[in-house]
Structure 1
Amino acid sequence: MRLTTKGRYAVTAMLDLALNAQHGPVNLNDISDRQSISVSYLEQLFAKLRKSALVLSVRGPGGGYQLARAADGIYVAQIIDAVDESVDATRCGGQGDCQQGATCLTHELWTDLSQQIHHFLDNISLQALVARREVQAVSIRQSEQQRLRHDGLAPDTHLATA
């Protein structure tokens, strides 16, 4: 199965946004700091997320991004779809040209698996993820590390780029 960095980062950034929504619009620099994703990559992702009406941008001082609707109405599969990703278990990208231009023996099996995974992700909302204790614990740790870095009490982390 293949889910690229783009899809993973988009879900991570949207979950960060949902976790920090109570403080108002979230700045991409803050998401970048907490999640170790470069700001330029986040800008590319959020342009697609905005185009798909999953986030809204807020301009001006204190601006940033916010969810376009409640977290219980945004699903992981929607996020992955918004950034032009797919969850694909086939080796042919679903094209059916797996074996020298023809469909391979197990093509339908892997296509069915891909559909099942998409259906699974289409039933997990951001709110369901936010409510998980382990997600809350990681979010608290990340926020504390971010606070320490801003206070000069912890080293900067290396930002991942895609």
Structure 2
Amino acid sequence: MKISTKGRYGLTIMIALAKKYGEGPTPLKWIAKENNLSEHYLEQLASPLRNAGLIQSVRGAYGGYKLPRKPEEITAGDVIRVLEGPIMFVEGIENEEPSKQALWLKITEAVKNVLDNTTLADLIQEHEEPKDAYMFYI
């Protein structure tokens, strides 16, 4: 499974809105500028996120988007499924031999587990930790 720019930028939108949770609506123009992304592309991603109930739009001069639920209640899996479709590491595994099927299913379940147990609040917290905390030396 490869996460495209749709999934990556969709998570960027969601993380930005999570950081602003409780502060009112945030314009996509601001998110695009802060992350050096195309506002037009973010608008295309906002529509399916809104239709899925992951974000709400607020119209008007001070409008934008906001989360309808707490960041702790929205997972990375929610976002990725809306923008990328079902989480499946390998397609067509029914034609594989049983030992390979088992491996592909384990990998798929592991990926689903990470995505479904990582909330927007977790992503904000990880973003704020120092980058060198994740450095590994061999």
TM-score normalized by structure 2?
Answer: 0.81
Q: Counterpart of 2:77?
A: 77
Contact 1:48 1:82 in 2 (8 A): yes
Separation (CA, whole Å) in 2 of partners of 1:34 and 1:137: 19
The answer as to whether partners of 2:3 and 2:84 remain within 8 angstroms in 1 is: no
Number of corresponding residues: 129
Q: For residues 33 and 42 of structure 1, what CA distance do their matches in structure 2 show?
A: 11
1:5 maps to 5
Q: 1:37 & 1:107 partners in 2: Cα distance?
A: 39
Do structure 1's residue 103 and structure 2's residue 96 form an aligned pair? yes
Counterpart residue number, 1:136: 128
Contact 1:56 1:66 in 2 (8 A): yes
Give me the whole-angstrom Cα distance separating, in 2, the residues matched to 1:126 and 1:63. Answer: 22
Question: Any conservation in 1 of the 2:75–2:115 contact (CA below 8 Å)?
Answer: yes
Residue equivalent to 2:64:
64
Q: Secondary structure at the match of 1:83?
A: helix
**8 Å contact kept, 1:55–1:68:** yes
Q: Does 1:125 align with 2:119?
A: yes
Pairwise CA distance, 1:45: 1.0
Q: Percent identity?
A: 32
CA distance in 2 between partners of 1:137 and 1:35 (Å): 19
Residue type of the alignment partner of 2:128 = Q
2:49–2:55 Cα contact (<8 Å) kept: yes
* Counterpart AA for 1:44: Q
RMSD (Å) for aligned C-alpha atoms: 2.1
- Cα distance in 2 for partners of 1:15, 1:110 equals 30
**1:51 maps onto 2:51 in alignment:** yes
1:86 Cα deviation from its structure 2 partner: 4.3
Alpha-carbon distance in structure 2 between the residues aligned to 1:111 and 1:4: 21
Amino acid at match of 1:136: E
Offset, 1:87 = 4.2
Unaligned runs of 5+ in 2: 131-138
Amino acid at match of 1:33: K
Please tell me whether the aligned partners of residues 11 and 76 of structure 2 are also in contact (alpha carbons under 8 angstroms). Answer: yes
CA shift digits 1:58-78 (9 cap, x unpaired):
000110000011111001100
Letter of the 1:72 counterpart: E
Which deviates further from its counterpart, 105-114 or 28-37? 105-114
